[in-house]
Structure 1
Amino acid sequence: MAQFRYKAVNDAGETLQGRMEAASVEEVIGRLQDQGHTPLEALPADGAGGGSGFAALFKRGPFSGDQLAQFTHQLATLLGAGQPLDRALGILLELPEGEHAKKLVERVRDRVRGGNSLSSALDEEHGVFPKLYVSLVRAGEAGGSLEETLRRLADYLERAQQLRGSIVNALIYPAFLLVGVLGSLVLLLAYVVPQFVPIFEDMQVPIPWITQAVLVLGNTLQAWWWLILLLLGGGVFAWRARLRDPAARLAWHARLLRLRLVGPLLLKVETARIARTLGTLLKNGVPLLSALTIARQVTGNRAMDAALEAAHEQVKGGAGLSLALGQS
């Protein structure tokens, strides 16, 4: 048996928090439901809460990706339990960690109480909620299936976070390996190689050219390290400045997709992200042209964005989606 932390809502709309000893998360949820409560969250007691600790230092905006998925799932659960939208938002007001997140939920609740729809209230946060998120909520409101739409949206966000986590985990080892190799090389050239210079001078024998090149490189690195760092920093700055040009960014992103090792991985990741987004949008009743426009915003590759834009224009002109994507 293990300890679990839970959050739930009772029939009076009060938020309950506590700990429970159980064999699994499913058992915790079952017990809460048997008691007439609506479970919102059940996690191992020794697990880290989403959005807190070290990871929270790197999140952008009031919600991290995991927190947004959790917020969406909890809102769907409360609506499914029969709670009115404004009351559900009031309950969720106490759940997110961080003052910014609480104020955001409070602003959304106040707009809903003032007569705005949920999608309009979210849209007024000016980019905090992705356009995909707002569009799906709007489609759910129009179709009278907001609860189901929120559940699908939560599943979509969770899968997106899992994909992102898989990519990060796959890149962590190569990144550490590259840093280790470069660090060892710099240490070798700057501190170890110069120690051999007096030895070669005392031997008074011809030094092979490759050894001479290594010695020169080591001496240069030791004497001019500050200039090398300055040049590297200037190069990075110039490269970033060049990528601000749309044409240069498009050419660079297209070249990335053609790289032998990195290209296929990038193409698969972007294709999966676009396909999942289009599928979610179309399944929730968003028109195809609008779905293509929104899907352009989930890709970070300008070449893929341009391909979707071309496909959008062809579909707008009457072509089928498969033909438009095949020719883009």
Structure 2
Amino acid sequence: MPLFRYKAVTADGEIVEGQYDVASENEAVSKIQDAGNIPLEVASADGVAGGGGLAGLFKREAMNQTQVLQFTQQLATLLGAGQPLDRALQILLELPESEKARRIVERIRDHVRGGAPLSEALEAEPGVFTRLYVNMVRAGEVGGALDTTLARLATYLERAKALKESVVNAMIYPAILVVMVFAALVVLLVFVVPQFMPMFKDMNVELPFITQIVLFAGTTLQSFWWLILALVVFIVMTIRRRLADPEKKLAWDARVLTMRVYGPLVAKLETARLARTLGTLLKNGVPLLTALGIGRNVLGNTALAESVDKAAEDVKTGGGLAHALAQSKRFPKLATQMISVGEESGSLDDMLLKVADTFDIEAKNTVDRMLAGLVPVMTLVMTGVVGFIMMAILLPIMSISGSIQ
């Protein structure tokens, strides 16, 4: 059977290590708990981390999204097991980690030991913990359920991370395919096509128009590649500078939402992100207006963020959330209809989380459909371009052969 190594906290607050020869990670966790200990890390003996461990928590110089998630999960576990907050932070501090991450946790612990609430200690680390994170922790402190709040926050972070990773992973293959297509074209135009130019000159015949186009493209790339590269860099920098202007960024983001395929995908991704944020905040007792103010900050599309701001103004004057969001006509109709049902039934928080789950799945399905069409399209484009180049090379040769016969 597989061998699993573990780290756990005893009832006295001491960290113990060991290993179990069991069938699964869950069985190892059960054995740790049966021994009266709190599992902190479970990993297979070959070094692959288990699902709740802290082994890779602070491997980098700063706490990234994954590390913050694991920190939250383990802090919730320790608090749920009855450990005092300062003791729980001390346990996390004693685990192996980078020096910078150690200082972050140490500062949080020192704030707490000095009498400050955890939310205030987290707020003092703005580059690590977001407004959403801090406000949820603050709501949990007020409600007296910090461990439950941290557990919900960990679930939120985990789902958000999973959605982001699913989209990124789905785009890896198409990105590689696009790079390979452009690399193949560059090789053909820069290294293969120019080899035929001396032969065509010796033929002393008028070249077909497509042959002239291909030869010109190959010569240009070979001789002025540095100018083309500089032009591309200039265009990219110009676009980034223009998008740094809030008005131009707003206009561009609004236009993105109207694009035929990409627009609906962006709307679904952002709707899922907003709904999960609002639902999680409302579950923890954060007022709706405050939740909207926090939720708009998790949106990457400024046009949708502007719509949330306008919706908050409507809600402030007594309007319903669903009607306020629907006014912009930028959010999917299904989302606003589901939110309306949640408001009517008095379970807005639960319905928002259902909206998030629904549009997580919708976004993933949309990406899958896009990729299913993109791969054959790219293959056809590559085939067509290569065929065009080969035809441009073969036409003069065939013309000469015909005239000789």
Q: TM-score range by the shorter chain?
A: over 0.9
Instruction: Look up the match of 1:264.
Output: 264
1:202 aligns with 2:208: no
TM-score normalised to the size of structure 1?
A: 0.94
**Higher mean C-alpha deviation, range 97-106 or range 107-116:** 97-106
- Once the two structures are TM-superposed, the CA of residue 241 in structure 1 deviates from its matched residue by 0.8
Deviation string, structure 1 residues 30-82 (Cα, Å, up to 9, x no partner): 100111101122232331553577xx4xxxx7212111111111111111111
Rounded Cα–Cα distance in structure 2 between residues aligned with 1:120 and 1:307: 30
Instruction: Give 1:96 deviation, angstroms.
Output: 5.6
After superposition, where does 1:104-119 map in structure 2 within 5 Å?
A: 104-119=104-119
Q: Number of residue pairs matched?
A: 322
- Equivalent position amino acid for 1:156 in 2: Y
Check the 8 A contact 2:4/2:22 in 1, yes or no: yes
Corresponding residue number in structure 2 for 1:147: 147
1:55-70 correspondence runs (5 A):
56=60, 62-70=62-70
Query: For the Cα contact (< 8 Å) 2:270–2:299, is it kept in 1?
Result: yes
What is the deviation of 1:20?
2.3
What residue is the counterpart of 1:327 in the other structure? 327
Give the structure 1 partner of residue 87 of structure 2. 87
SS in 1 for 2:236: helix
1:50 is aligned to 2:56: yes
Aligned to 2:252: 252
User: Does the Cα contact within 8 Å between 1:140 and 1:149 map onto a contact in 2?
Assistant: yes
How much is the aligned-residue C-alpha RMSD, in angstroms? 1.5
CA deviation string 1:205-238 (max 9, x = no partner) = 3211111011001101111111111111111111
**Paired residues of 2:5 and 2:17 also in contact (CA < 8 A):** yes
Report if aligned partners of 1:112, 1:118 keep a CA contact under 8 Å in 2.
yes
TM-score by length of 2: 0.77
- Provide runs of 4+ in structure 1 moved above 6 Å: none
Runs of at least 5 residues in structure 2 that lack an aligned partner in the other structure: 50-54, 329-405
Deviates more, 1:288-297 or 1:2-11: 2-11
SS at 2:56 equivalent:
coil
Contact between 2:57 and 2:70, CA under 8 Å: does it hold in 1? no
Match of 2:221 in 1: 221
Q: Which amino acid aligns with 1:317?
A: T
The 8 Å contact of residues 67 and 96 in structure 1, kept in 2 or not, is answered as no
Q: Share of identical aligned residues, percent?
A: 58
Contact 1:10/1:37, CA 8 A, preserved across alignment: yes
Which residue of structure 2 aligns with residue 4 of structure 1? Answer: 4
Q: Structure 2: which amino acid aligns with 1:292?
A: L
Report what 2:37 is aligned to: 37
Partner of 1:238: 238
Q: Secondary structure at the match of 2:207?
A: coil
Amino acid at match of 1:170: A
C-alpha distance in 2, partners of 1:325/1:100?
Answer: 42
Describe the SS at the equivalent of 1:6.
strand
- Hey, what does 1:103 align to over in structure 2? 103
1:258 deviation in Å? 2.0
In the TM superposition, 1:282-301 aligns within 5 A as: 282-301=282-301
Letter in 1 for 2:299: T
CA distance in 2, matches of 1:161, 1:67: 11
Bigger CA drift: 228-237 or 92-101?
A: 92-101
Instruction: Tell me how far 1:202 sits from its aligned partner.
Output: 2.2
- Distance in 1 separating the partners of 2:298 and 2:281: 12
Partner SS, residue 16 of structure 1: strand
The CA deviation at 1:137 is 0.3
What is the rounded CA distance, in whole Å, between the counterparts of 1:17 and 1:213 in structure 2?
70
What are the superposed Cα offsets for residues 75-100 of structure 1, whole Å, 9 maximum, x if unpaired? 11111111110001000112362111
Deviation track 1:18-37 (CA, whole Å, cap 9, x = no partner) reads: 33221111111110011110
Instruction: Kindly provide the amino acid, as one letter, of the partner of residue 56 in structure 2.
Output: G
Gaps in structure 1 of 5+ consecutive residues: none
Q: Larger Cα Rg: Structure 1 or Structure 2?
A: 2
Q: Which amino acid aligns with 1:41?
A: E
Report the equivalent of 1:74.
74
Return closer, same or farther for 1:21/1:52 CA change in 2, 3 Å cut-off.
farther
Cα-to-partner distance string for 1:171-200 (whole Å, 9 max, x where unaligned): 111111111111111111111111111122
Q: In structure 2, how many angstroms separate the alpha carbons of the residues matched to 1:24 and 1:265?
A: 38
Question: Do 1:9 and 1:16's aligned partners in 2 also have CA atoms closer than 8 Å?
Answer: yes
Deviations 1:103-160 (A, max 9, x none): 1011000000000000011001133201110000000000011010011111111111
Q: Which residue does 1:163 correspond to in 2?
A: 163
